[in-house]
Amino acid sequence: MKALEDRILKDGVIKPGGILKVDNFLNHQIDPALMYDMAVELKRLFGDREINKILTVESSGIAIAIMTGYVFNCPMVFAKKSKSKNISDDVYSVEVPSFTHGNVNTVVISKEYLHENDKILIVDDFLATGAALIGLRSLAAQAGAEIVGAGIAVEKVFQGGGNKLRAEGMDIKSLAAISEMTDDGKITFA
Amino acid sequence: MKALEDRILKDGVIKPGGILKVDNFLNHQIDPALMYDMAVELKRLFGDREINKILTVESSGIAIAIMTGYVFNCPMVFAKKSKSKNISDDVYSVEVPSFTHGNVNTVVISKEYLHENDKILIVDDFLATGAALIGLRSLAAQAGAEIVGAGIAVEKVFQGGGNKLRAEGMDIKSLAAISEMTDDGKITFA
């Protein structure tokens, strides 16, 4: 999606350790019109499938996911980072390691909001190692729900998570796929 | 806003300790069309003011805030819960006690995204004790930004935070204002 690639080139900042800082428009300050345009693009990419629910994980996936739910006219559910180690029986739960923060979060979804007959589009702002997608796939599997596909704003292809999950059968489409990033600030799209 | 009041009566569940559970449509599973309609209502209520930024705090305020930014055609910024106690010089920070979780979060905003000339509409899903609004007001004050008003989805009037802040001069408008909630499930709107 050219508008997103252009925005990354204009406002993205590369930080040491393979971090792409896009908090000017994607995950701290957020450009609502861009979120809407990305949701419309996801509708173009996945609109021919039967999808009844958008799934993401807090926090920075929520903005694009709610817009996607709006365009798809279906509910959005976000997995929550659990505050306690004591997981109750009324949630599905999974451990998700964070690439950015170097820790592990337990994320949960209430069993009320994920069902066997759900046909799910996962939406997230970033795909790097794939940890969040693997976690959400596990939550869906616990519920017996079907993952129809995953729509990602920015994929860092060189971190390998996306292609590993594609090889395992997940239909992932990224709106901007970065094949290379150099410490001196050069970004190459796939 | 009648559609929101009706939805609270239909899907809200009262839990012991004055907790109103609305995670069927507002803060776990989220109804995107309702978020959009609430944003349009906030535009009706605040649209005659000069506003250049929507401000909220993660996580459950993000959905309504991004829709509000979309309708107001301006950026949305969300304050982040800090993972570390070591706050860097490039953020504004404040401590916010959580009514629901009984803990205190340090929330931060990058100094890049809050400025002296900003005219801010705060948007959040809930207003109870007012702790989140007080925190966001402090962050805005640190930046020298002006808070034009606050648009809230659900205010629990009986917890007093809203009226205390109104007395201090904050222009708060709630889309559903609950004056009374009983443990056996009766909800009265103001």
Print the SS3 string covering chain B: CHHHHHHHHHHCEEECCCEEECCCCCCCEECHHHHHHHHHHHHHHHCCCCCCEEEEECCCCHHHHHHHHHHHCCCEEEEEECCCCCCCCCEEEEEEECCCCCCEEEEEEEHHHCCCCCEEEEEEEEECCCHHHHHHHHHHHHHCCEEEEEEEEEEEHHHCHHHHHHHCCCCEEEEEEEEEECCCCCEEEC
- How does DSSP classify residue A186? -
**Chain B residues touching residue A103 (CB < 8 angstroms):** 83
Residue B151 neighbours by CB under 8 Å, 6+ apart:
B42, B45, B46, B68, B121, B122, B123, B172, B173, B174, B175
- Give A6-64 as a DSSP string: HHHHHH-EEETTTEEE-TTTTSSEE-HHHHHHHHHHHHHHHTTS---EEEEETTTTHHH
Find the mean pLDDT for residues A10-33.
93
Find the mean pLDDT for residues A152-177.
98
Structure-token pair, residue A45: 């990419």
Summarize pLDDT for B77-125 with one digit per residue, the tens: 999 998 766 677 899 999 999 877 788 999 999 999 999 999 999 999 9
pLDDT at position A85 is 65
Summarize pLDDT for A101-113 with one digit per residue, the tens: 788 999 999 999 9
What count of CB pairs under 8 Å joins A to B? Answer: 104
Position B16 pLDDT exceeds 90: no
* Arithmetic mean of pLDDT over chain A: 95
By DSSP bridging, strand A172-181 and strand A146-156 are parallel
Task: Please indicate whether, in this complex, the C-beta atoms of B30 and A76 are within 8 angstroms of each other.
Answer: yes
**Chain B residues touching residue A31 (CB < 8 angstroms):** 75
Among B59, B70, B101, beta carbon nearest to A36: B70
Closest approach of B53 to chain A, Cα-based (Å): 10
Whole-angstrom distance, CA of residue A107 vs CA of residue B105: 18
Percent of chain A with pLDDT over 70: 97
pLDDT at position A69 is 98
Whole-angstrom distance, CA of residue B21 vs CA of residue B154: 11
Task: Please indicate whether, in this complex, the C-beta atoms of A32 and B75 are within 8 angstroms of each other.
Answer: yes
Closest approach of A161 to chain B, Cα-based (Å): 25
Among A28, A32, A103, beta carbon nearest to B69: A32
Find the mean pLDDT for residues A10-36.
93
Find the mean pLDDT for residues A173-189.
94
Task: Please indicate whether, in this complex, the C-beta atoms of A23 and B67 are within 8 angstroms of each other.
Answer: no
Position A156 pLDDT exceeds 80: yes
Please name the residue of chain B whose CA is at the shortest distance from the CA of residue A91: B28
**Chain B residues touching residue A35 (CB < 8 angstroms):** 66, 70
Summarize pLDDT for B129-183 with one digit per residue, the tens: 999 999 999 999 999 999 999 999 999 999 999 999 999 999 999 999 999 999 8
Whole-angstrom distance, CA of residue A91 vs CA of residue A89: 6
Using an 8 Å Cβ cutoff, are A133 and A161 in contact?
Answer: yes
Task: Please indicate whether, in this complex, the C-beta atoms of A77 and B29 are within 8 angstroms of each other.
Answer: yes
Summarize pLDDT for A130-144 with one digit per residue, the tens: 999 999 999 999 999
Among A70, A83, A109, beta carbon nearest to B33: A70
Please name the residue of chain A whose CA is at the shortest distance from the CA of residue B65: A63
Among the listed ranges A81-90, A100-109, A111-120, A163-172, which one has the minimum average pLDDT value? A81-90
Band of pLDDT at residue A151, cut at 50, 70 and 90: very high
Band of pLDDT at residue A22, cut at 50, 70 and 90: very high
Task: Please indicate whether, in this complex, the C-beta atoms of A29 and B70 are within 8 angstroms of each other.
Answer: no
Please name the residue of chain B whose CA is at the shortest distance from the CA of residue A84: B101
pLDDT at position A136 is 98
pLDDT at position A23 is 94
ipTM of the complex: 0.95
